[in-house]
A = this chain, B = another copy of it.
Amino acid sequence: MPMYELFYWPSIQGRGELVRLALEEAGAKYVDVARTDGGMAAMMKVLGGAGPSLTPFAPPFLKSGSLVIAQTANILMYLGERHGLAPKSDAGRFGANQLGNTVADLFAEVHDTHHPIASDLYYEDQKTEAKQRAAAFIAKRMPKFLGYLEGVLEKNGGRFMIGRRLSYVDLSVFQVIAGLSYAFPRAMKRAGGRCKGLHALHDRVASRPRVAAYLASERRIPFNEDGIFRRYPELDRAR
C-alpha cells in the first residue's frame, strides 16, 4: 500500500511538480492518482466535497492516511516535517513556509503572464494583454523575485536556502530556475549574472541521486504549453 496519494492534473508539471520533487527526494512511496486509470474521476470526486475531510479548493492535494491536505506550500510544509525536508526550529519552519509561500506567489504571477484576464479563456483570446503583462513581469517582477531569492541564499551561506541542509525550499528553487529558463530563455540569459547562486543550487539539486533518477524517468512530465511555465517566444524578451 502506498504511503501517499498525490492528486494533480495528469499532463502538466504545474504546481504539483513542487510536491512531486519533495516526494521523490524523500524517497516516499506515492501514487500520482490522476495519471492512473479512473484517477481523474477520483480527483474530481474529492474536489466535489466527497468524504469527511476538508475539501481542497483546487489541485494539488495529498492524501496521507485520513488526512487530505491542499495548497502547495502547505503540502510541502507537511512533507518537510515528516521527511526531514525542513528545519525544525520556529525560525526554520516558519522561514521555510515563508519562502514556500513566496514561490507560490511567483508561480501565480508566471501563470498570469499567459492568462492575465481569465484562466478559463484561451491564451489566444488574451494575447495582447499577455504581452503587456509578460513584459512587466520580465522587466520588474522576475528580477525582483530572483534578486530576492539570490539574496536569501547568499545571506544563508550560499549552499541552501534555509537551514544547514537540503529542504523543500531548495527543491522548489530548482523548479523555479528550470521553469523560468524554459519559459523565458532570453530573459533568463540576461538575468543570469545576477542569480549565479540560484543556478548553482539548481545544478546541485538536479544532480542529487533521487532527483536525477526522477528527472530521467517517465514520472517527470516534460514542460509543455498547458502548464504554468509555457514557452511562448512572443512573451519572452525580444533578444
List residues of A whose CB falls within 8 A of some B CB.
49, 53-57, 66-67, 69-71, 73-74, 77-78, 90-91, 94-95, 97-99, 101-102, 104-105, 108, 112, 116-121, 129, 132-133, 136, 140-141, 145, 148, 151-152, 155, 162
Contacts and interface: CB of A to CB of B under 8 A. Distances in A.
A55 B94 contact: no
Given A102-B71, A117-B116, A129-B129, A55 B140 contact: no
B116 A148 contact: no
Q: Tell me how many chains of this kind the complex includes.
A: 2
A41 B145 CA distance: 22
A55 B153 CA distance: 11
**Main SS at interface, chain A:** helix
A95 B54 contact: yes
A162 to B, nearest CB: 7
Contact of A73 (B49, B99, B101, B140): B101
Given A57-B102, A108-B105, A152-B54, A118 B97 contact: no
Nearest to A69: B94
B98 A54 contact: yes
Contact of A74 (B98, B133, B162): B98
B140 A120 contact: yes
15 contacts: A49-B151, A49-B155, A54-B98, A55-B152, A55-B155, A56-B98, A67-B94, A69-B94, A74-B97, A74-B101, A101-B101, A108-B108, A116-B117, A116-B129, A117-B132
Contact of A97 (B53, B66, B71, B140): B71
A70 B98 contact: yes
A54 B77 CA distance: 17
